[in-house]
């Protein structure tokens, strides 16, 4: 699969103690920790270095504002588009014997650039629940992690301190032994309105932990959140944490950042250790980086694609003696329920997308039979950036103009209620990603091909969450309720209603203690190559319904400590 001609000379040759591939949350944190200990660190990032000022300008100028609208997709580092993300993945159709699973368009979004997808993540800084680490032993489904909540808890605390996380006693979270670094981001009037409708039905409402500054004096050089109502896809002032923070801290500590370097091959030495990586430059040339230790932190799609492309010495690819690289692709599936409250509830107040959520379906004995769900009270109406415009377009279509148009848009927007439930998907070796040799980008590197289905376990959880959310809106007295259950057939949900959560991706290089049934160990170290660490959500044995990023950061810090103690001693 090597897209480079052998007679073309390398334009760039680099070396370091540690070569980090991917400048996102995990790569940035690990590079910073190692660089400040005076290790020679090289960071290779496929995409560009994102400039916040330019990204905000682009976002403001875009007539339709979606997740990737602020970010310019470089031709040399493509990723899924907002409009048709499923086409990026070259998805396969249904196969014989797939009847117990429902095919849903896989449309996971991510960014290739310094900071990665954390630029447009919600900022929710959730710890996984205790039972998320032991699904098999407690509920008889999924897999157990090779690390427990108790083992990870001190690294959760370090990650929260590094990010600057805001939370308090009423924050949705498992038990903790230390306080949050900052006081909580207040829940909204909308959250309180939902609570009044949910609590009589037996459901609670709590606030989320946020990786955004809540202190007036700021935190670690970042300003206090000012509650921009359209900040879901980019924080205009940098109050919300993103991975570029620690990438640039790493550079200040001495790390060398090279963006516009698209790694396409991982080279194994005769001793079985990783010897070097080869990469394409943005203009089509190529280079090589050698190191003592390699950290692959390129997200759950690009990580397995790279390992499987690297077949120059091993037919199965790098780190793949288990034949599990690229398998067990996981995400969440969404159920979105909307309606108009009888009184104004004032969405678009405070940070978007959610300051609060409905509890009760996150964990419990039911998980032996159906999936858990996290329910967000979307603090951005029906559409986080286009809600008022869509109200106006609908009113104009119906012939409403003038002052009546203005009043209708104002009244309807103020009453919009949107409950969005994310439902977990279990690991399944049939769900996966591989390089697509029939489709290549402008550098000649294969694009990803995904095969993905949702099983009955997730469908049952999806249905329970959608029913609960509809009940809450009905109890609220909402009108014009739309629910994904409206399109339920006798055999289950219509595929058009079963949408894959674009924000959460995991699996494809799962961790475990047995090299035959996993790709990396509990420290994210490859079973096959002692100097290769594969970090990020790709190592997750199960996906949970919590925002995955804080756990990613905790695992990265734990892996870094292990590297310092064992591999770079």
What token pair was written down for 303?
Answer: 């990580």
Q: What is the pLDDT of residue 283?
A: 92
**CATH of residue 147:** 3.50.50.60
Question: How far is residue 58's CA from residue 61's CA, in Å, rounded to a whole number?
Answer: 5
Q: Which of these, 204, 478, 461, 225, lies nearest to 340 by C-alpha position?
A: 478
The Cα-based distances of 534 to 27, 70, 319, 457 in angstroms read 10, 29, 9, 29
Indicate the SS3 state at residue 15. strand
Domain that holds residue 26: 12-92+102-567
Looking at the domain assignment, is residue 408 inside a domain?
A: yes
What token pair was written down for 364?
Answer: 């419990």
Q: Which of these, 552, 492, 485, lies nearest to 524 by C-alpha position?
A: 552
Cβ(537)–Cβ(299) below 8 Å: yes
What token pair was written down for 40?
Answer: 């020679």
What token pair was written down for 191?
Answer: 């959250």
Cβ(453)–Cβ(446) below 8 Å: no
Looking at the domain assignment, is residue 5 inside a domain?
A: no
What token pair was written down for 328?
Answer: 């067990």
Show the DSSP H helices in 110-243 as ranges: 135-139, 149-163, 189-198
What token pair was written down for 192?
Answer: 């309180």
Pairing outcome for strands 532-534 and 286-296 = parallel
Reduced 3-state DSSP string for 408-458: HHHHHHHCEEEEEEEEECCCCCCCEEEEEEEEECCCCCEEEEEECEEEHHH
Q: Please state the φ and ψ torsions of residue 191, each to the nearest 5 degrees.
A: -60, -45
Element (H, E) at 288: strand 286-296
Q: What is the pLDDT of residue 48?
A: 97
Question: How far is residue 106's CA from residue 301's CA, in Å, rounded to a whole number?
Answer: 12
Question: How far is residue 216's CA from residue 209's CA, in Å, rounded to a whole number?
Answer: 17
What token pair was written down for 367?
Answer: 């998980």
Dmax over CA atoms of the chain, in Å, equals 76
Looking at the domain assignment, is residue 544 inside a domain?
A: yes
Residues of the chain with pLDDT under 50: 1, 96-97, 99, 496
Cβ(455)–Cβ(493) below 8 Å: no
Looking at the domain assignment, is residue 7 inside a domain?
A: no
What token pair was written down for 295?
Answer: 């950290």
CB atoms within 10 A of CB 6: 5
What token pair was written down for 423?
Answer: 């439902």
Strands annotated E in 297-441: 330-340, 356-358, 373-377, 416-424, 432-440
Question: How far is residue 286's CA from residue 7's CA, in Å, rounded to a whole number?
Answer: 12
Residue environment code for 195-225, b if the CB has 16+ CB neighbours within 10 A, otherwise e: bebbeeeebebbbbbbbbbbeeeebeebbbb
Question: How far is residue 8's CA from residue 10's CA, in Å, rounded to a whole number?
Answer: 7
Q: What is the pLDDT of residue 96?
A: 45
Cβ(345)–Cβ(373) below 8 Å: no
Q: Which of these, 552, 566, 563, lies nearest to 246 by C-alpha position?
A: 552
Q: What is the pLDDT of residue 496?
A: 47
Q: At what angle do helices 25-35 and 244-252 cross, to 10 degrees?
A: 20
Q: What is the pLDDT of residue 91?
A: 80
Q: Please state the φ and ψ torsions of residue 410, each to the nearest 5 degrees.
A: -65, -45
Reported pTM: 0.94
Pairing outcome for strands 479-482 and 205-207 = unpaired
Question: How far is residue 324's CA from residue 516's CA, in Å, rounded to a whole number?
Answer: 9
Q: What is the pLDDT of residue 4?
A: 54
Q: Which residues contact 73 (CB under 8 A, 6 or more apart)?
A: 79, 81, 112
Question: How far is residue 74's CA from residue 47's CA, in Å, rounded to a whole number?
Answer: 7
Looking at the domain assignment, is residue 1 inside a domain?
A: no
Indicate the SS3 state at residue 556. helix
With 0-12 CB in 10 A as exposed, 13-18 as middle and 19+ as buried, what is 270?
exposed
Chain center to CA of 524:
18
What token pair was written down for 525?
Answer: 């170290």
Reduced 3-state DSSP string for 515-527: CCCCCECCCCEEC
Looking at the domain assignment, is residue 4 inside a domain?
A: no
Indicate the SS3 state at residue 481. strand
As a dihedral over the C-alpha atoms of residue 166, residue 169, residue 173, residue 178, rounded to 10 degrees, the angle is 70
What token pair was written down for 324?
Answer: 């599990």
Q: What is the pLDDT of residue 490?
A: 55
- Torsional class of 503: left (φ above 0), alpha (ψ -120 to 50), beta (otherwise): alpha
Number of domains in the chain: 1
């Amino acid at each position: 699969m090597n897209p480079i001609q052998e007679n073309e000379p390398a334009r760039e040759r680099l070396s370091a103690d540690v070569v980090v591939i991917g400048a996102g949350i995990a790569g940035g944190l690990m590079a910073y920790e190692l660089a400040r200990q005076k290790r020679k660190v090289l960071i290779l990032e496929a995409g560009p270095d994102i400039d916040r000022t330019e990204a905000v300008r682009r976002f403001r100028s875009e007539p339709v504002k979606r997740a990737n609208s602020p970010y310019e997709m470089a031709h040399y580092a493509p990723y899924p588009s907002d409009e048709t993300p499923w086409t990026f993945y070259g998805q396969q159709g249904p196969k014989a014997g797939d009847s117990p699973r429902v095919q849903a368009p896989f449309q996971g979004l991510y960014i290739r650039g310094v900071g990665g997808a954390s630029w447009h993540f919600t900022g929710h800084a959730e710890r996984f629940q205790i039972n998320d680490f032991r699904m098999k032993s407690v509920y008889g489904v999924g897999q157990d992690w090779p690390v427990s909540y108790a083992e990870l808890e001190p690294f959760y605390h370090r990650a929260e301190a590094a990010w600057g996380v805001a939370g308090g006693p009423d924050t949705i979270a498992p038990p903790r032994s230390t306080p949050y670094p900052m006081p909580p981001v207040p829940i909204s009037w909308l959250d309180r309105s939902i609570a009044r409708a949910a609590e009589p039905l037996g459901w609670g409402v709590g606030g989320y932990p946020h990786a955004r500054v809540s202190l007036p004096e700021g935190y670690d050089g970042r300003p206090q959140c000012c509650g921009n109502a359209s900040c879901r896809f980019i924080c205009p002032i940098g109050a919300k944490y993103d991975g570029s923070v620690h990438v640039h801290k790493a550079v200040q500590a001495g790390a060398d950042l090279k963006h516009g370097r698209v790694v396409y091959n991982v080279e194994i030495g005769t001793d079985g250790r990783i010897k070097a990586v080869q990469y394409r430059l943005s203009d089509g040339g190529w280079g090589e980086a050698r190191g003592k230790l390699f950290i692959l932190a390129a997200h759950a799609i690009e990580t397995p694609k790279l390992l499987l492309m690297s077949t120059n010495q091993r037919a199965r690819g790098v780190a793949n003696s288990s034949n599990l690289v690229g398998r067990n692709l996981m995400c969440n599936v969404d159920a979105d329920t909307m309606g108009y409250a009888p009184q104004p509830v004032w969405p678009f107040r405070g940070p978007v997308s959610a300051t609060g959520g409905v509890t009760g379906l996150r964990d419990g004995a039911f998980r032996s039979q159906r999936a858990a769900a996290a329910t967000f009270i979307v603090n951005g109406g029906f559409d986080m950036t286009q809600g008022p415009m869509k109200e106006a377009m609908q009113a104009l279509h119906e012939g409403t103009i003038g002052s009546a148009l203005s009043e209708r848009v104002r009244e309807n927007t103020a009453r919009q209620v949107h409950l969005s439930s994310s439902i977990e998907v279990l690991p399944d070796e049939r769900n996966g990603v591989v390089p697509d040799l029939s489709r290549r980008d402008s550098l000649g590197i294969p694009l990803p091909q995904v095969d993905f289905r949702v099983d009955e376990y997730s469908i049952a959880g999806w249905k329970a969450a959608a029913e609960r959310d509809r009940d809450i809106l009905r109890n609220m007295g909402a009108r014009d309720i739309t629910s994904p259950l409206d399109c339920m057939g006798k055999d289950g949900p219509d595929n058009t209603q079963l949408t894959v959560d674009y924000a959460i991706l995991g699996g494809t290089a799962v961790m475990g203690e047995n090299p035959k049934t996993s790709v990396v160990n509990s420290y994210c170290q490859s079973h096959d190559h002692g100097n290769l660490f594969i970090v990020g959500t790709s190592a997750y044995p199960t996906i949970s319904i919590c925002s995955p990023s804080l756990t990613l950061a905790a695992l990265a810090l734990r892996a870094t400590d292990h590297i310092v103690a064992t591999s770079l001693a």
